[in-house]
A and B are shown apart, each in its own frame.
Chain A
């Protein structure tokens, strides 16, 4: 197993290509900074940032398997979840706190958001947009909860319990006095859509949303 671990680390080091939406997040991060990736999965983004941007990166991951795979690559990751385990980190411990595709699965998204900006100087948050036209059509014409390749799980089994739209999220940021430093929406494949600054269009056409916030 010694061999397996070193092989997988070597493979990762050679193929520095990551999921398109993760690449967009990575592009927002300054080299050499301190980064916490919450819900880091198998360490795809964290490993990439560590290797190519030389960040001082840490990860938090719910699944034991994910944690194991990360640590086996030499990434500092611990088991935990966004709702419970952010409280221990000191204020301003990180330059960036990343929460990718996880906000909608938290128990208390608002509290999680304020924790992100307590421990991180900037928060980078991405989530599926329920304002997307196809989600609207699903409800309007099928009368069914939206399902698509990015959200394939039935309503009774999904871990996603707090859905919102781009407009909802912008509204929450306003209420919490958070500054939106950057925002963009992505298509189903995770590529950036160029739509100008019209939030209403973004909300209609964006499959996923990606925000960088500060206090």
Chain B
């Protein structure tokens, strides 16, 4: 009860909200007919007269729709891809109409487990249906329809965002002119599923998770979610990057303390990452979205023959990987690129040398930016957007 009140007190998040699936519901992979539902989204720039300049940016697991806001409504920091998206930047909002929506199952305004189930008047919790990457994309198509856009100029995203990009190209190739799947794969590897499972178990082992009903109980599984984030965060960095940043340096002390206090800087850093994450993310959303990634395998319905997923696809692709990314390796990207070749698709495939691990796609990587910029400009020329 108390938290339901909390939910109502929360100031509404800035940006657009659209209620979709009122007349025709969203058919989820699980078979559930879901709707009506809400997608929270941000747009930047102006849609041109023939609606040909729209770029959909897909966010990663813990990202959100505030891709290029100057001030994020919760963290107060700038948007997660402000490096790339903005006026005069690589994804130039003076030129393109950029859309980014919070995924279904998320926790920044789109329908998800922490929102109110209209049938019960209480937060969904674990009654929220299990969603997949294809469900996220299907929901996005309904938003794009509602915005009156037939063909997106580009769909771009990293990590889980890249999974959505690939799903778009497989299911709606005629609606995507250019696609940049970055630091991603056509499937989640066993190792990635394993790390996600560790994260989920950490959340569920927290007594404050309350079997998923923490919102009703007025609690928050902060410790569990923080541990999940700490584990995941390690996988986003590379061994050399972590060592360069912290080495064995001690945290505000001259010597080890023979205790379990945070002696090392790296411990303090991870604890900080965990703590700040729980302020902006919902634990159940974390379970749902990690699950969606685990279930992702674009080749499944083709008995492993990935090329068949892209047969006849006219989209231009730019597949990008980072040399030190051990979550989504270059080898995985090359499987995607080879499948695209086998389907006679137009594909560029680039590995960027970086020691920053998976997170490199979010950081200042000049070579990556040069490649992405060239790809977008080339595609814009092809689309007659100059």
Determine which of A2, A75, A89 lies in contact with B342 in the assembled complex, contact meaning CB atoms within 8 Å.
Answer: A89
Verify A2–B318 contact, CB threshold 8 A. Answer: no
Verify A77–B370 contact, CB threshold 8 A. Answer: no
Q: Which residue of A lies closest to B376 (CB)?
A: A74
B296 CB, nearest partner CB in chain A, Å: 22
Determine which of A4, A70, A74, A88 lies in contact with B338 in the assembled complex, contact meaning CB atoms within 8 Å.
Answer: A88
Interface of B is mostly: helix
**Residues on A with beta carbons closer than 8 Å to the beta carbon of B374:** 5, 9, 71-74
**Given contacts A76-B348, A78-B341, A89-B341, A68 and B367 within 8 Å (CB-CB):** yes
Instruction: Flag whether A6 is at the interface (Cβ < 8 A).
Output: yes
Instruction: Flag whether A67 is at the interface (Cβ < 8 A).
Output: yes
Determine which of A6, A68, A89 lies in contact with B350 in the assembled complex, contact meaning CB atoms within 8 Å.
Answer: A68
Verify A77–B348 contact, CB threshold 8 A. Answer: yes
**Residues on A with beta carbons closer than 8 Å to the beta carbon of B350:** 64, 67-68, 71, 78-79
Verify A74–B379 contact, CB threshold 8 A. Answer: yes
| Contact flags B300-329 to A (C-beta < 8 A → 1, else 0) | 000000010000000010110000000000
Instruction: Flag whether A196 is at the interface (Cβ < 8 A).
Output: no
| Contact flags A43-56 to B (C-beta < 8 A → 1, else 0) | 00000000000001
Determine which of B348, B366, B377 lies in contact with A1 in the assembled complex, contact meaning CB atoms within 8 Å.
Answer: B366
Verify B316–A76 contact, CB threshold 8 A. Answer: yes
**Residues on A with beta carbons closer than 8 Å to the beta carbon of B90:** 2
| Contact flags B215-231 to A (C-beta < 8 A → 1, else 0) | 00000000000000000
**Given contacts A71-B350, A73-B378, A6 and B373 within 8 Å (CB-CB):** yes
**Residues on B with beta carbons closer than 8 Å to the beta carbon of A56:** 346
Verify B371–A71 contact, CB threshold 8 A. Answer: yes
A13 CB, nearest partner CB in chain B, Å: 10
Instruction: Flag whether A118 is at the interface (Cβ < 8 A).
Output: no
B50 CB, nearest partner CB in chain A, Å: 22
**Residues on B with beta carbons closer than 8 Å to the beta carbon of A74:** 374-375, 377-379, 381
Number of interface residues of B (CB under 8 A): 34
Verify B346–A5 contact, CB threshold 8 A. Answer: no
Instruction: Flag whether B347 is at the interface (Cβ < 8 A).
Output: yes
Verify B348–A4 contact, CB threshold 8 A. Answer: no
**Residues on B with beta carbons closer than 8 Å to the beta carbon of A79:** 334, 349-351
**Residues on B with beta carbons closer than 8 Å to the beta carbon of A68:** 350, 352, 367, 370-371
Instruction: Flag whether B337 is at the interface (Cβ < 8 A).
Output: yes
**Residues on B with beta carbons closer than 8 Å to the beta carbon of A70:** 348
Most buried by B among A6, A74, A79, A93: A74
Instruction: Flag whether B299 is at the interface (Cβ < 8 A).
Output: no
Verify A4–B370 contact, CB threshold 8 A. Answer: yes
**Residues on A with beta carbons closer than 8 Å to the beta carbon of B349:** 67, 78-80
**Residues on A with beta carbons closer than 8 Å to the beta carbon of B319:** 78
Instruction: Flag whether A90 is at the interface (Cβ < 8 A).
Output: yes
Instruction: Flag whether B233 is at the interface (Cβ < 8 A).
Output: no
Instruction: Flag whether B344 is at the interface (Cβ < 8 A).
Output: yes
Q: Complex: how many Å from CA A5 to CA B367?
A: 10
Instruction: Flag whether A58 is at the interface (Cβ < 8 A).
Output: yes
B98 CB, nearest partner CB in chain A, Å: 15
Instruction: Flag whether A111 is at the interface (Cβ < 8 A).
Output: no
Instruction: Flag whether B353 is at the interface (Cβ < 8 A).
Output: yes
B-contacting residues, A139-186, CB 8 Å: none
Instruction: Flag whether A27 is at the interface (Cβ < 8 A).
Output: no
Instruction: Flag whether B280 is at the interface (Cβ < 8 A).
Output: no
Verify A2–B373 contact, CB threshold 8 A. Answer: yes
Q: Which residue of B lies closest to A74 (CB)?
A: B378
List the interface of chain A (C-beta within 8 A of B).
1-2, 4-6, 9, 56, 58, 64, 67-68, 70-80, 85, 88-90, 93
List the interface of chain B (C-beta within 8 A of A).
88-90, 307, 316, 318-319, 334, 337-339, 341-342, 344, 346-353, 366-367, 369-371, 373-375, 377-379, 381
User: 28 A-B Cβ contacts within 8 A?
Assistant: A1-B366, A1-B369, A5-B370, A9-B374, A58-B346, A64-B351, A67-B350, A67-B351, A68-B370, A70-B348, A71-B350, A72-B371, A72-B373, A73-B378, A74-B374, A74-B375, A75-B348, A78-B319, A78-B341, A78-B347, A78-B348, A79-B334, A79-B349, A79-B350, A85-B338, A88-B338, A88-B339, A93-B344
Beyond A2-B373, A56-B346, 19 additional pairs, beta carbon < 8 A: A1-B370, A2-B90, A4-B370, A9-B374, A58-B347, A64-B351, A67-B350, A67-B351, A71-B318, A73-B374, A74-B377, A74-B378, A74-B379, A76-B348, A77-B348, A78-B319, A78-B347, A78-B350, A79-B334
Closest 8 CB pairs of A and B: A74-B378, A72-B374, A78-B349, A88-B338, A88-B341, A5-B373, A71-B348, A72-B370
